Structure 1
Amino acid sequence: MYRIFIVEDDDKIAGILKETLDKYGYEVGRAQRFHDIKNEGMQWKPDLILLDINLPRFDGFYWCRQIRTCSNVPIIFLSARTGDMDQVMAIENGGDDYLTKPFHLDVVLAKIKGALRRAYGEYAQAPSARDEWELNGLRLDRSKNSLVYTDNRVELTKNETLLLDCLAAKFGSIVSREELLEALWDDVDFVDDNTLTVNVTRVRRKLEELGLPGVIETVRGQGYRLSTKWGNPDHE
């Protein structure tokens, strides 16, 4: 039984979500301490978090960043904000998906099922020889969602790990945006194409933190690929 933690200060919306998820067999908890979402949520040990943006004290972006300091649990934002920038900020701050209010409960359930399958179920990364791979000194540990280069380490979200793993599996070859969307989100009909762009930007930024700019190349109109040049002394 998967555990879902709802962070929503509107009692009516939270109640509807809880009632629906209870009906489908999930174990559901609701946030009570809106000044202490991180600790309350982690004590509850959820498998997925539904997170509103407009909250008392601090907004959902803040709490998502706080949760990401200690957990890669899937986080789906729920918000009345419909602007593209809000969705970009949700992904930038560590969210995995975004739903706008008012929402259809069928869509919420589809998003939840998809996120749980990717994280823990049939689409989760199975133990294999590729759980940890190395390319030109760059090492990705899929089991820990971490990336290491020259003794420097950065932590990745689940989707960032999947993205980098897909590109590495076709090292030097182009991976289409469609392939990446299907790998990261099985329910692609509900995914804004801009969400993929944001995830690519985040992975690029983390590679730059390791001293590896330009590793992910954009092939206009086709997709992305990993450059074959990094780690090469002649690469400028």
Structure 2
Amino acid sequence: MIYRIMIIEDDAVIREELKTLLCGNGYEVQCVTDFADPVGEVKRWQPHLILLDINLPGENGFRLCSGIRAFSEVPIIFVTSRNTDMDELNSIMLGGDAFITKPYHVAILLARISSLLKKAWPSREEEAYQHRGVMLSPESGRITYGGNSVELTKNEMKILVFLFRHAGKICARTDIVEYLWDNRLYVDDNALSVNISRIRDKLTALGMPDFIQTKHRQGYLI
């Protein structure tokens, strides 16, 4: 259950910087590098959110936004060096959802992305996750294996959602803590250890004692 974000930015340095940032925060990223038909790229890839510059080769970002709005309500964040009131007004009038100026503040950009995704795709958090025979259901707040299930606390559920979203990859402790804070769950490093321990106890009771692996000085892996 990974959100797809499309970057429409002609500056290669900024484009790669954004891609690295977003990939590091668990998003799947597609970059437009051929500006012959960016609207066609949006139709083909169907992203969950778009980061859009204004100054682009060919059609500018405002026209692209209008073209996208003709067939899609996908959230669009303008990320641009243009910072006049008229630019921001145009972005709103043409269907943009947010306007962020360069150089952007990383935390603010990520928070805006997260907020818009939750509003646009509210049901995604409720979908069930499955990995190695273990099923996680955010809607019911339970984890199931072998026909048996146990109830999870809100913190335990959110931690497992993050791990399931990154199944097969090592998740750094700092990334998990930041994710919880972004979701207004105030957990520090010690509290994370306590929650992981409790989750493991519940998984052990279900017959999956080694479901969460600890990678020394790296994080956790499922």
Compute the TM-score of the two structures, normalised by the length of structure 2. Answer: 0.54
Q: Paired residue for 1:21?
A: 22
Offset of 1:106 from its aligned partner?
Answer: 1.0
What's the offset of the Cα at 1:35?
Answer: 2.1
The answer as to whether partners of 1:35 and 1:58 remain within 8 angstroms in 2 is no
Q: Give a deviation string over 1:95-143, Cα, whole Å, max 9, x none.
A: 111000111111110110010011113799xxxxxxxxxxxxxxxxxxx
Q: State the 1:33 CA deviation.
A: 2.2
Instruction: Supply the AA of the counterpart residue of 1:5.
Output: M
Gap change, CA 1:123 and 1:84, over 3 Å in 2: farther
Deviations 1:202-229 (A, max 9, x none): xxxxxxxxxxxxxxxxxxxxxxxxxxxx
Cα RMSD after superposing both structures: 1.6
Alpha-carbon distance, 1:32 to partner:
2.0
Change (3 A) 1:123 1:5: closer
The answer for the alignment partner of 1:62 in structure 2 is: 63
Once the two structures are superposed, residues 70-118 of structure 1 have per-residue CA deviations (whole angstroms, 9 ceiling, x without a partner) of 1000000011011111000001111111000111111110110010011
Structure 1 contact 50–76 (Cα < 8 Å) conserved: yes
The verdict on how the C-alpha distance between 1:114 and 1:122 changes in structure 2, with shifts beyond 3 A counting, is: farther
Which residue pairs with 1:12 in the alignment? 13
The percent identity for this pair of structures is 46
CA drift of 1:13 comes to: 0.6
Following the alignment from structure 1 to structure 2, what is the Cα–Cα distance between the partners of residues 66 and 56? 15
Give unpaired runs (5+ residues) of structure 1.
125-236
- 2:59 match: secondary structure: coil
**Hey, what does 1:116 align to over in structure 2?**
117
Counterpart in 1 of 2:46? 45
Query: Distance in 1 between the 2:51 and 2:41 partners?
Result: 14
CA shift, 1:42, in A, is 1.5
1:71 corresponds in structure 2 to: 72
Aligned to 2:91: 90
Query: How do 1:96-175 residues align onto structure 2 when only pairs under 5 Å count?
Result: 96-121=97-122
**Alpha-carbon separation, structure 2, partners of 1:110 and 1:16:** 17
Amino acid at match of 2:84: G
* Structure 2 counterpart SS, 1:102: coil
Q: Secondary structure at the match of 1:12?
A: helix
The answer to whether the Cα contact below 8 Å between 1:77 and 1:97 also exists between their aligned partners in 2 is yes
Counterpart residue type for residue 115 of structure 1: L
Whether the 8 Å CA contact 1:52–1:79 is kept in 2: the answer is yes
Matched letter for residue 113 of structure 2: I
Q: 1:96 corresponds to which letter in structure 2?
A: D
Q: Which runs of 4+ in 1 moved over 6 A?
A: none
The amino acid across from 2:37 in the alignment is: D
Structure 2 residue runs without a partner (length 5+): 126-222
Contact kept in structure 2, 1:33 and 1:40, CA below 8 Å: no
Residues 39 and 123 of structure 1: CA distance in aligned 2, closer, same or farther (over 3 Å): closer
SS of the equivalent of 1:43 reads: helix
Q: For residue 31 of structure 2, what is the aligned residue in structure 1?
A: 30
SS at match of 1:71: coil
The CA distance in 2 between the partners of 1:123 and 1:18, in whole Å, is 22
Q: Secondary structure at the match of 1:57?
A: coil
Larger Rg: 2
Q: Which amino acid is 1:27 matched to?
A: E
